[in-house]
């Protein structure tokens, strides 16, 4: 994005009102999967992150949630200035080091004990966000969805079907697949859903500043189950957390959550892998849209890792025996992933 001169002036006004300094430079930051645009605004001694987002409802929700989480002592960026008339605000500059990069460094250096400790720290914070802060959250402010339920689950599964599965060339019976989607959604709605569900809790949305972890991109949150966010975190495709560590961390997460609220061990684990499967399929839909359709390399590179996760999730989901068409589709996707250049061929097919 070439920053509009008027918006640049308005960013500068917000920055000076907050810092007392004139703006010396405004640098655009790399784009992500959203339509929000981020800029690093620099003065002589101070810096801030400027956000431009034409979805003003989303801006409003983010600002309300950020202020709420700060009141609840959840580490999120401090808001320095707002001008929603022109879709902008400025927030605390927490640097560029993500938890994702820290995880990769620790895995590559085989520092397993340190990796576990880092992830346990973050999962403890997740419990505080979901349960402790979640008790006081006003879910009526959530946008575009207030609560996790069958309608959202079906929307996510259809998103996977339309944006990823349909682009692979795999044959399937649409009627039977949709019936299996209905069965999966119906089963999952039995889960306890009275917590704050972050919706996109993953390591790229967590920044490290002065050895503290700060949480971003929570504006899509809603009322929902505990399982969704921990599954989102542990099964993030390119984080490559080893499965044995995932299982240990899941047990740790459950033990912490149970200290904060009464939860049934049987019920929690009964729904966990079904919800994890729904999350991975939803992310494959995003990879199809942003990668296969729009050609963004980060999303394309993530696809094989997400498909690897299907091996684990299909073996853990006994409920799939009641969903033969979905089960078959997942098998074909896993087989495709094991073929030489399988994902590259799909990408080329979508850009011929």
Cα 199-115-107 angle, rounded to 5 deg: 95
Backbone φ, ψ for residue 44 (5° rounding): -65, -45
Give 3-state DSSP helix, strand, coil % of the chain, rounded to 5: 60, 10, 25
Q: What is the pLDDT of residue 259?
A: 98
Low-confidence ranges of the chain (pLDDT < 50): none
Contact criterion met (CB below 8 Å) for 53 and 35: yes
Residues 149 and 142: their CA atoms lie apart, in Å, by 14
**Mean pLDDT, rounded, of the chain:** 95
Q: How far is CA 128 from CA 26, 214, 232, 253, in A?
A: 35, 13, 17, 11
Domains 5-92 and 99-350 share a fold: no
pLDDT of 351: 72
- One DSSP character per residue, 13-41 reads HHHHHHHS----EEEEPPP-SSS-EEEEE
Structural domain boundaries of the chain? 5-92, 99-350
Please give the Cα distance from 248 to 255 (Å, whole number): 11
Which SS3 state, helix, strand or coil, does residue 163 take? helix
Q: What is the pLDDT of residue 286?
A: 96
CA-CA-CA-CA torsion for 321, 325, 327, 330, nearest 10 degrees?
A: -170
State how far the Cα of 48 lies from the Cα of 40, in Å rounded to an integer: 6
pLDDT by residue (tens digit) across 101-145? 999 999 999 999 999 999 999 999 999 999 999 999 999 999 999
Top-tier CATH class for 5-92: alpha beta
Residue 28 confidence (pLDDT): 92
Determine the Cα–Cα distance for residues 42 and 64; give it in Å rounded to an integer: 25
SS3 for 82?
strand
- What pLDDT is recorded for position 33? 64
Task: Fold for 99-350, please state it.
Answer: Aminoglycoside 3'-phosphotransferase; Chain: A, domain 2 (3.90.1200)
């Amino acid at each position: 994005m070439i920053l509009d001169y008027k918006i640049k002036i308005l960013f500068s006004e917000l920055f000076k009102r907050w810092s007392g300094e004139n703006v010396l430079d405004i640098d655009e930051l790399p784009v992500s999967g959203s339509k929000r645009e981020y800029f690093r605004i620099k003065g002589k001694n101070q810096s801030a992150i400027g956000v431009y987002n034409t979805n003003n409802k989303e801006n409003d929700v983010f600002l309300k949630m950020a202020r709420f989480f700060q009141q609840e002592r959840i580490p999120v960026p401090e808001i320095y200035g707002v001008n929603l008339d022109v879709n902008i605000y400025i927030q605390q500059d927490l640097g560029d080091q993500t938890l994702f990069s820290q995880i990769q460094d620790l895995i590559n250096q085989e520092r397993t004990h340190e990796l576990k400790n880092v992830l346990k720290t973050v999962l403890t914070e997740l419990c505080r966000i979901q349960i402790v802060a979640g008790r006081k959250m006003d879910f009526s402010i959530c946008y575009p969805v207030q609560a996790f339920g069958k309608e959202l689950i079906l929307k996510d599964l259809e998103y996977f079907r339309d944006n990823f599965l349909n682009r692979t060339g795999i044959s399937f019976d649409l009627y039977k697949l949709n019936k299996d989607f209905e069965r999966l959604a119906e089963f999952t709605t039995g889960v306890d859903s009275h917590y704050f569900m972050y919706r996109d809790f993953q390591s790229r949305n967590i920044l490290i500043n002065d050895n503290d972890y700060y949480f971003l991109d929570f504006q899509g949150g809603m009322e929902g189950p505990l399982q969704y966010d921990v599954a989102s975190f542990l099964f993030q495709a390119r984080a490559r957390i080893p499965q044995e560590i995932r299982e240990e961390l899941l047990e740790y997460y459950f033990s912490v959550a149970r200290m904060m609220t009464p939860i049934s061990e049987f019920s929690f684990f009964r729904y966990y892998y079904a919800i994890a499967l729904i999350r991975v399929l939803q992310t494959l839909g995003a990879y199809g849209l942003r990668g296969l359709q729009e050609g963004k390399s980060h999303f394309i590179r993530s696809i094989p890792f997400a498909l690897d996760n299907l091996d684990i999730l299909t073996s853990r989901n006994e409920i799939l025996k009641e969903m033969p068409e979905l089960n078959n589709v997942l098998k074909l996707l896993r087989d495709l992933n094991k073929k030489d250049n399988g994902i590259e061929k799909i990408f080329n097919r979508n850009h011929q």
